[in-house]
Amino acid sequence: MSFLLISMCGGLGAVARFVLNTSIQRWWNRMFPLSTFIINVIATFCAGVAAAAYAHQVVPQSTYLLFVTGFLGGFSTFSTAINEMVSLARNRHFAMAAYYLVATIVVPIICVTLGWIVGSLGR
Amino acid sequence: MSDSVNNTSAEPQPSTQEISVAQVRAQSMPEPQGAAAAAKPPQIPLAPIKRVQARFNPLADGMLYLVVFLGGTLGTAMRYGLSFILPATAGAEGFWHAFHVPTFTANMAACFIFACLTSYLSQAVWIRKRVRELTSRGIGMGMCGGFSTLSALAIEELTTLQGSVVAGAVCYMLVSFLLGLIVAYVGARLGLALAADKTAKVAIAAVRQQQTGNWRHVTAGETVVVPTAQGNGSVASPASSPVSPSDMPGVPNAASITSDGTDSAPAATAPINPPSYEPAPITDEIPLVGDPTTGEAH
């Protein structure tokens, strides 16, 4: 039962990503894939907050699984980011691909740390 | 009688009557004119009613939501199921403890499937556009997106860094991204190769079908060459029953014009060519035939 609930939370996360992705792509017309980047930034920040809350035992494990493994797992995406890098490189935008790669490696770490700090504020 | 023979010989060869692909394309796609031909053509916003139609706005397409939800559910179930099957980390402690096997496996598999699928679908013109869109959204965006995750990767990084295994954390991150890039590149190449293979098969099947004579439709841009045996057999070909130009008053002889004023006697003595048969012209016009009972034009 919890397995099904977690999976459906993942489906909700995917729908949320679809809505946000389409909305951002409607006004963003540059080459940088901003929509996936913003989605991953939001997801990793929320994951940091959730991890801090779980570590300080504010929320039980079931809630943590539902939110992080389910919703945020479906919301954030690794495959789309990687494939955007590959397609940028295949279209000979090597500088942009490298820039996006570095941003996708570094920024999530910063975001998850910030989220952890925000989540630990009350302690 | 000699007029009809002259007419036939004066007609250009059938090969010159072929409508080339380039000609059709040039006529069907006209050059922009007026304001549209400017370097920066004016942007015309979509009509407000069209912004809520699924044809113009993916956010108004309910089917896409359903497909993405189902794909995301399936992908998350696969990723969560992997965490039961595979060991959580590659090692009990130390350097290998930083490598989280389920997340890594899910990410690599999702990268490969996503790259293969998107590159294949981008070339698959034989699949209907709607089916391609739904597959791309459902399996690509929904399933692969739900299967792969960056938030779990970031949390694993954070916990490893808090355990002060910096080398393991950095290695895990770099290996994830580099191997993901390689796997995605291989997947994209594989998808393109599969699509090229299928394209060749479809083209061969179409040519074979055309050679057996089972084809009925002629699409614009196709070069139509009617075999001469067919032209001979048909009685009602236009060359066999022409309107003689000399019968019409005021119209000079067509044969004398084409032979630059010389007499048409040499043409008459020339061997009688098989009647050249011109294929029906490909036009955009749809013949209108009125229905006498309802009055509708079909």
Q: Does A119 contact B at CB distance below 8 Å?
A: no
What's chain A's average pLDDT?
91
* Distance between CA atoms of residues B17 and B12, nearest Å: 8
Residue B226: helix, strand or coil by DSSP? coil
Residues of A in contact with B115 (CB under 8 A): 79, 82-83, 86
Q: Which residue of B has its CA nearest to A40?
A: B150
* Distance between CA atoms of residues A104 and A37, nearest Å: 7
Of A14, A40, A82, the CB nearest to B146: A14
Domain range list for chain B: 48-211
pLDDT at B277: 61
Q: What is the pLDDT of residues B188-235, one digit of tens each?
A: 999 999 999 998 998 898 888 878 765 555 555 555 555 554 444 444
Q: What is the DSSP letter of B100?
A: -
Q: Does A88 contact B at CB distance below 8 Å?
A: no
* Distance between CA atoms of residues B143 and B137, nearest Å: 9
CB atoms within 10 A of CB B131: 11
CB pairs under 8 A between A and B: 191
Residues of A in contact with B144 (CB under 8 A): 77, 79-80
Work out the pLDDT band at A1, boundaries 50, 70, 90.
Answer: confident
**What type of residue is B207?**
V
Choosing among A7, A18, A79, which should be mutated to test the B contact, i.e. which has the most B CBs within 10 A?
A79
| A73 belongs to an annotated ligand binding site | yes
Of A10, A77, A105, the CB nearest to B177: A105
Work out the pLDDT band at B65, boundaries 50, 70, 90.
Answer: very high
Among the ranges given (B8-17, B108-117, B129-138, B178-187), the one the predictor scored with the smallest mean pLDDT: B8-17
Contact assignment for A69 to B80 by CB distance below 8 Å: yes
**Rounded mean pLDDT of B128-144?**
91
* Distance between CA atoms of residues B91 and B27, nearest Å: 67
Contact assignment for A51 to B73 by CB distance below 8 Å: no
Residues of A in contact with B69 (CB under 8 A): 11-12, 14-15
Of A13, A22, A47, the CB nearest to B146: A13
Contact assignment for B141 to A11 by CB distance below 8 Å: no
Choosing among A78, A91, A112, which should be mutated to test the B contact, i.e. which has the most B CBs within 10 A?
A78
Percentage of residues of chain A with pLDDT beyond 90: 73
pLDDT at B152 over 60: yes
pLDDT at B223: 58
Contact assignment for B150 to A40 by CB distance below 8 Å: yes
Contact assignment for A15 to B72 by CB distance below 8 Å: yes
Contact assignment for A112 to B110 by CB distance below 8 Å: no
Q: Which among A5, A14, A66 has a CA at the least distance from the CA of B69?
A: A14
ipTM of the complex: 0.92
Work out the pLDDT band at B124, boundaries 50, 70, 90.
Answer: confident
**Rounded mean pLDDT of B260-288?**
54
Contact assignment for B150 to A77 by CB distance below 8 Å: yes
Of B59, B83, B151, the CB nearest to A47: B151
- Compute CA B70 distance to the chain's CA centroid, rounded to the nearest angstrom: 28
- Angle A79-90/B101-123 helices, nearest 10 degrees? 50
Q: Please, are residues A75 and B151 in contact by the beta-carbon 8 Å criterion?
A: yes
Question: Sign of the CA dihedral B212, B213, B217, B219?
Answer: positive
Residues of A in contact with B81 (CB under 8 A): 3
Domain range list for chain A: 2-119
Give the predicted TM-score (pTM) of the model. 0.69
Of B115, B150, B180, the CB nearest to A108: B150
More confident residue, A50 or B90: A50
Residues of A in contact with B184 (CB under 8 A): 79, 82-83, 85-86
Choosing among B104, B116, B150, which should be mutated to test the A contact, i.e. which has the most A CBs within 10 A?
B150
pLDDT at B269 over 60: no
Contact assignment for A11 to B157 by CB distance below 8 Å: no
Of B68, B113, B174, the CB nearest to A15: B68
**What type of residue is B177?**
F
